[in-house]
C-alpha cells in the first residue's frame, strides 16, 4: 500500500512537539523503535560556526546520537593523542561516531596515509572523500590496511571528478568493498539525477548519506529546511528501508550558519515524522 504523506501533517504533530521540547531545554526523542528503522543523524558541517562542545549540546537538544564530523570539530592538524581525546569527549556525550570528512585526497600516497592515520585516531569507521581518480589504487590499498571504509562524496555539476553517485559507483564497483559512496541527495538532484534511483542503482555500495532539501532543483543556493522543498523524502526513506540501508542519514544543514538550530529542529522533526508514518 502506498502511504500519502504531507509536510503539513508531520509539522502539525512531530515538529510542534520537537520545537516545544527544544525551547524548554528538553531532549527531542526519536521515533519509537521498530524492526525497520534508519539512523537519523547530523553532519557536523551543519554547526561549523560553533565549537565542538556547542555542537554536542545541540545534538543533545536534537535528540541525535549518530554524527559524522568535519575537521572544524576534529581537526586534522592535531596530534594523534589530541585527536583521541576529542574522540573520547564525543563518545562521552553519548554520540556514536559514524565517520568524518569530506576530505579531498590528492594522488599522493604519503598524504593519503596521513588522512587514514587521522581517521584511525578519530575513531572514524568511515571517511567520506573526494579522491583524485588517479589515487584510487592507493586509497583501496590503505582502506584494506586500516580496515576503514571510504565513501566517495558527489558534489554536483561543479565537481570535475564525481558529479553524480553513478560516476563514483562506476569507478569503485569492481574494487574492494570497503570503497563505496556517500550520496549527497541535494547535489545529486542538481545534476538532473533522481536521488531515489541513484540509491537503488548503487545500493550495494551506499555507505553514507548527506541530506538536504532544495526549493529549485538546479539551484544550490535554494536550500531550505527538509520538507519545505521538492525532494521526495517519503519515497527516499521508503527506498532506504526497502534496500536495507545501514548507514547514517546525515542532515547537512548548510543554511543559516549563524543560527542553524531552528531549521535543524524542523528538518529532523519532519524526517522523524516521515519515518514514523512509513513504519506504521
| pLDDT number for residue 252 | 98
| pLDDT number for residue 12 | 38
Which residues of the chain have a pLDDT value below 50? Answer: 1-35
pLDDT digits 0-9 by tens, 19-67: 333 333 333 333 333 347 999 999 999 999 999 999 999 999 999 999 9
Question: pTM for the full model?
Answer: 0.86
Instruction: Specify whether domain 7-278 bears CATH 2.40.50.100.
Output: no
CB 250 within 8 A of CB 211: yes
| pLDDT number for residue 280 | 78
| CA distance readout (Å), 142 to 19, 115, 172 | 44, 10, 14
Residue found under cell 593519503? 112
Angle of CA points 164, 167, 172, to nearest 5°: 130
Q: How far is CA 29 from the centre of its chain?
A: 19
- Other beta carbons within 10 angstroms of residue 133's beta carbon come to 14
Give me the residue spans of the domains in the chain. 7-278
Amino acid at each position: 500500500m502506498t502511504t500519502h504523506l504531507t509536510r503539513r501533517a508531520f509539522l502539525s504533530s512531530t515538529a510542534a512537539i520537537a520545537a516545544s521540547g527544544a525551547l524548554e531545554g528538553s531532549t527531542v526523542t526519536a521515533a519509537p523503535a521498530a524492526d525497520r528503522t534508519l539512523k537519523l543523524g547530523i553532519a557536523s558541517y551543519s554547526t561549523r560556526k560553533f565549537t565542538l562542545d556547542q555542537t554536542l549540546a545541540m545534538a543533545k537538544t536534537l535528540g541525535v546520537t549518530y554524527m559524522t564530523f568535519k575537521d572544524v570539530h576534529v581537526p586534522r592538524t592535531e596530534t594523534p593523542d589530541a585527536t583521541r581525546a576529542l574522540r573520547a569527549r564525543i563518545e562521552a556525550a553519548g554520540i556514536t561516531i559514524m565517520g568524518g570528512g569530506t576530505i579531498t585526497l590528492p594522488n599522493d600516497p604519503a598524504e593519503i596515509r596521513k588522512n587514514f592515520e587521522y581517521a584511525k585516531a578519530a575513531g572514524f569507521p568511515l571517511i567520506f572523500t573526494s579522491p583524485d581518480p588517479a589515487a584510487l589504487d592507493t586509497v583501496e590499498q590503505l582502506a584494506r590496511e586500516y580496515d576503514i571504509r571510504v565513501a566517495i562524496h558527489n558534489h554536483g555539476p561543479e565537481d570535475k571528478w564525481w558529479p553524480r553517485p553513478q560516476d563514483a559507483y562506476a569507478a569503485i564497483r569492481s574494487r574492494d568493498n570497503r570503497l563505496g559512496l556517500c550520496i549527497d541527495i541535494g547535489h545529486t538532484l542538481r545534476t538532473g539525477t533522481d536521488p531515489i534511483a541513484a540509491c537503488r542503482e548503487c545500493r550495494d555500495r551506499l555507505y553514507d548519506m548527506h541530506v538536504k532539501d532544495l526549493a529549485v532543483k538546479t539551484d544550490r543556493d535554494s536550500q531550505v529546511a527538509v520538507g519545505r522543498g521538492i525532494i521526495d523524502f517519503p519515497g527516499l526513506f521508503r527506498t532506504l528501508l526497502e534496500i536495507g540501508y545501514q548507514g547514517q542519514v546525515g542532515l547537512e544543514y548548510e543554511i543559516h550558519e549563524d543560527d542553524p538550530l531552528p531549521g535543524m529542529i524542523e528538518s529532523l522533526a519532519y524526517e522523524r515524522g516521515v519515518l514514523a508514518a512509513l513504519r506504521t
